[in-house]
Amino acid sequence: MALFSSLTPVFIAIICILIGVILKKTDGEKEKYETKSKPLSHPWVDEDLKDGTDHHLEEEEWQGPEENVAHVPFSAEHYTEAEMIQRSKMFYELLNKRRSVRFLSDEPVPREVIDNVIRTAGTSPSGAHTEPWTFVVVQDPYLKHKIREIVEEEEEINYKKRMGDRWVNDLKRLRTNWIKEYLDTAPYLILIFKQVYGWLPNGKKKTHYYNEISVSIACGILLAALQVCATSYVRPISHQELTFLLHSVLSDASLPELLLLGGIFRYGKSDK
């Protein structure tokens, strides 16, 4: 008892230190998340120079745009007010016909059209002109099918395990499920990756500010360009967990993080 009594402070100290260590550990685990995704706490500046991505600017060598780019004189139309109104109305009517259809035509789309719409998306503005997007076009039926398999496998787990009964019930009305037939049907799949960072000449990472907003704006321009050609795009899925699986299918581990994945198809006779 005397021994116990004299050891009491030691026991208490050990127990308390253990509690401290356990609490600290939990804290550390959360910190990882936080570092990856804490809210925008950095100062906001001129739109061209910032980005919503979490970043630590002080640690980086931020570089401005290349100095050796040739000057392109600015040129623009100057329509009358009546012309402007007419054009804005026509464009609205055209874009208002866009639908997120689920039954796609397999009618071929000229490759030149795909190239042009991606070039158009590439005219999008981006934070500090980083152009943080990578567009991957898949035409090969085998690769399209492999991508479908990956997507469906993950989707099935979602529906059966991850989503919960209420969500699955809600989805019944919309008649969606994990079967993504259109990933085989669409003549092209397009995978849109966001470059969360780039590389400086000295080999250091350079954060791409607001990369997700920039890539999404470019996607909006892509959708507009597709609609102009009477083609469209169905976005079935986007999730970072898929990135690694897709890297392996595409045999390119250097690809950045997946933001959106969809099928490009043509509106037309065989649409339902």
- Residues numbered 236 to 255 that lie near its own copies (CB under 8 A) are 236-242
Interacting stretch for its own copies, rule CB under 8 A, among 135-143, 160-168, 183-191, 243-251? Answer: 160-168
- Residues numbered 200 to 219 that lie near its own copies (CB under 8 A) are 212-214, 216-219
- 214 to each of 112, 122, 191, 262, how far by Cα in Å? 24, 10, 16, 18
Compute the least distance from the CB of residue 179 to its own copies, in Å. Answer: 10
Compute the least distance from the CB of residue 245 to its own copies, in Å. Answer: 12
Q: Does 224 bind its own copies (CB under 8 A)?
A: yes
Nearer to its own copies, 112 or 140 (CB): 112
Compute the least distance from the CB of residue 214 to its own copies, in Å. Answer: 8
Q: Does 57 bind its own copies (CB under 8 A)?
A: yes
Compute the least distance from the CB of residue 255 to its own copies, in Å. Answer: 18
Nearest Cα to Cα of residue 200 among 70, 68, 71, 59: 59
- Residues numbered 93 to 112 that lie near its own copies (CB under 8 A) are 95-101, 109-110, 112
